[in-house]
Structure 1
Amino acid sequence: MTTSARSVRIERVAAGRYVAHNAGGATLPIGGDDFSPVELLLAAIGGCTAIDTDVATSRRTEPTGFTVTVSGDKVSDRESGNRMENLSVTFHVRFPEGEQGDAARAMLPRTVALSHDKLCTVSRTVERGTPVRTVIE
């Protein structure tokens, strides 16, 4: 087992508006008319498995269409707290006709399953129920 630390820094820029910064210098606005934290969670789940799948299948051929839709139900529960349920990741992927497209289509289910079962850190962390520790400095 190996570990590799990751982090982002989130900075308040106005009431209800924030910017996430990563170590590479990229920024992502959060709140207001931008992505909500729940939407970012959905995007992280879908983005993680989309990248795994795209890297593997596009070695055979470039897709002619590649869309991943992630959905779920936000539950507001006074007793057990807010959470997402019924999370679903749906792939809409098309490859060109021909031998290379056939090869990419054939490996798509296996690649999606491998991402879900082993590779995607985001969905695996959610499914595992990893505790989140909060600290006030």
Structure 2
Amino acid sequence: MADDHRRVTLERLETGVYRATNPAGAQLTFGSLDDTGFSPVELLLAAIGGCSAVDVDQVTGRRAEPERFEVVVEADKIRDEVGNILRDITMTYRVTFPEGEGGDKARDLLPRAARTSHERTCTVSRTVEAGTPITVHVDDDEPPAE
């Protein structure tokens, strides 16, 4: 089993708006009060779709370049006595390939590639479905009393 640690750091820019930075220095601004950007829930849906899209595109793209490649990820946000959660997450591929042998091979492979991504290779959707626990720590910036 390979140890491939991942990390993202969030910084508060203003109330409800944050900047995520990865180790490569890429940044993404988002938040619950960022009217022009993504909400955290939308980022989760994008991560689910993006992870699977990368898998599927790599496999089918070897056979033919898609003319259209779109993935729509939707969910219902539920608020109940237990708390907030997403239910009924669906991912729909809308992909077309050109006519010809390569396009035919890619079209035939698409359902299996999508299923394999969902069941085996997409870390994001597999983690969501597994219900992986999250451990929360709060670090105190104040130095210890002497």
Normalised to the residue count of structure 2, the TM-score between the two structures is: 0.92
Structure with more relative contact order (C-alpha pairs < 8 Å, separation 6 or more): 1
Per-residue CA deviation, residues 81-104 of structure 1 (Å, 9 max, x unaligned), is 100000000000000000000000
How many residue pairs match? The answer is 136
State the one-letter code of the partner of 1:5: H
In the alignment, the residues of structure 2 paired with residue 3 and residue 115 of structure 1 have an alpha-carbon distance, to the nearest angstrom, of 20
Indicate the residue corresponding to 1:93 in structure 2: 95
Tell me the SS of whatever aligns to 1:85. Answer: strand
Indicate the residue corresponding to 1:84 in structure 2: 86
Per-residue CA deviation, residues 54-99 of structure 1 (Å, 9 max, x unaligned), is 011010110000000000000011x211000000000000000000
Q: Which runs of 5+ in 2 are unaligned?
A: 140-146
In the alignment, the residues of structure 1 paired with residue 137 and residue 84 of structure 2 have an alpha-carbon distance, to the nearest angstrom, of 20
CA RMSD of aligned residues (A): 0.6
Indicate the residue corresponding to 2:46 in structure 1: 43
Indicate the residue corresponding to 1:29 in structure 2: 29
**Aligned-pair CA distance for 1:3:** 2.1
Higher-Rg structure is 2
Q: Are 1:132 and 2:134 counterparts?
A: yes
Pick aligned residue for 1:120 from 119, 122, 125 = 122
In the alignment, the residues of structure 1 paired with residue 124 and residue 15 of structure 2 have an alpha-carbon distance, to the nearest angstrom, of 28
**Aligned-pair CA distance for 1:132:** 0.6
Identity of aligned residues (%): 53
**Aligned-pair CA distance for 1:14:** 1.0
Q: Which runs of 5+ in 1 are unaligned?
A: none
